[in-house]
Amino acid sequence: MDAAEKLPEPGGAPAPAPPHADSERGGTLTVDLDAVAANWRALVSRVVTADCAAVVKSDAYGLGLEQIAGKLAATGCKTFFVADIAEAKRLRASALEATVYVLDGLPPQGAAAIAELNARPVINSMTELAEWDAFVAANKWQGGAAVHVDTGMNRLGISAEEAAALAPRVQNVNHGITLLMSHLACAETPDHPLNFNQIRLFRELRTLYHGVPASLANSSGIFLGDSTHHDVVRPGAALYGINPTAGRHNPMRPAVELTARVLQVRAVEHGESVGYGATWTAKRASRIAVVALGYADGLLRAASGSDRARGGTAIIHGKVCPIAGRISMDLACIDITDLPEGVVRRGDRATFIGGKLAIDDLAAAAGTIGYELLTSLGRSCQRVYRGG
Burial of 145 (0-12, 13-18, 19+ CB in 10 A): buried
Closest to 151 in 3D by CA, of 217, 189, 202: 202
The residue type at 309: A
Report the C-alpha gap between 260 and 242 in whole angstroms: 21
Residue 325 bridge partners (DSSP): 305
Burial of 37 (0-12, 13-18, 19+ CB in 10 A): buried
Q: Is 12 helix (H, G, I), strand (E, B) or coil?
A: coil
Helix or strand (DSSP H, E) at 47: helix 33-47
CB 83 within 8 A of CB 103: yes
Task: State how far the alpha carbon of 210 is from the alpha carbons of 172, 309, 361, in Å.
Answer: 12, 55, 44
- The one catalytic residue in 6, 276, 283, 356 is 276
Q: Is 88 helix (H, G, I), strand (E, B) or coil?
A: helix
Closest to 353 in 3D by CA, of 307, 296, 298, 287: 298
- The one catalytic residue in 57, 61, 101, 240 is 57
Cβ atoms within 10 A of the Cβ of 142, count?
Answer: 10
Backbone angle region of 112, left / alpha / beta, with phi > 0 → left and psi within -120 to 50 → alpha: alpha
What would the 3-class secondary structure string for 115-158 be? HHCCCEEEECCHHHHHHHHHHHHHHCCCCCEEEEECCCCCCCCE
Cβ atoms within 10 A of the Cβ of 79, count?
Answer: 21
**Catalytic status, residue 101:** no
**Catalytic status, residue 57:** yes
β-strand pairing of 145-148 with 382-386? unpaired
Give the active site residues: 57, 276
